Amino acid sequence: MSSVSQRRRGNRQKDLVGFRIGDVAYAVDIHRVREILNPLPTVELPQSPPSVVGVADHRGDVVPIIDLRRRFDLEPGPVTRRTKWVVVDREGMGVGLVVDRVTDVFGAGPAEQRNVPDLTRKRGIHAVFSHDSVLVFVLDVDKITEAVEELSFDEIPEER
């Protein structure tokens, strides 16, 4: 195989899960993804951070749900059949990320990596790659899900 075709193929190790929020492409490390779901019913928690739309009962676990549109201060988008939850692992707890649509699972190597400005690091982006001629912003799962630390389940009254 020639070096030109190897460069075009890039890194074939599929280590990123890609998705869209509006017209912007994002991804998360596949090793942090538990599963991808269709949205489930949620329960809104009082005094939650604005990006947390509520919690859902998924497989017996209470899973906080973060709307990435809200997290990025974007206008709400319509919920369509393409809307998905990407459930990621945060310190042993599942957290659902609401995305407009999941696009693909792909790999990106050093040749596709771009420099990350400090401003984007502060917003929860830890890498930028060029994939299929589009910039893809790879999210720092811990930074992007910080809002769940503010949730207090102690305030929820027990059922009698």
The CATH number, out of the four listed (3.90.1310.10, 2.40.50.180, 3.40.640.10, 2.60.40.10), of the domain defined by the range 3-148: 2.40.50.180
Under DSSP, is residue 53 helix (H, G, I), strand (E, B) or coil?
A: strand
Tens of pLDDT, residue by residue over 41-73, are 999 988 899 999 999 999 999 999 999 999 999
- Give 5's pLDDT tier (boundaries 50, 70, 90): very low
Three-state secondary structure string covering 89-148: EECCEEEEEEECEEEEEECCCHHHEECCCHHHHHCCEEEEEEECCEEEEEECHHHHCHHH
Decide: 122 and 40 in contact? Cβ < 8 Å: no
Q: Which amino acid is at 20?
A: R
Let me know if 160 is exposed, middle or buried by CB neighbors in 10 A (0-12, 13-18, 19+). Answer: exposed
Q: pTM for this one?
A: 0.84
Q: What is the mean pLDDT of residues 84-110?
A: 95
For residues 9 and 132, which has the higher predicted lDDT (pLDDT)? 132
- How far apart CA 138 and CA 113 sit, in angstroms, is 10
Tens of pLDDT, residue by residue over 123-140, are 789 899 999 999 999 999
- Can you give the pLDDT at residue 158? 47
Q: What is the mean pLDDT of residues 145-156?
A: 73
- Can you give the pLDDT at residue 154? 52
- Can you give the pLDDT at residue 54? 95
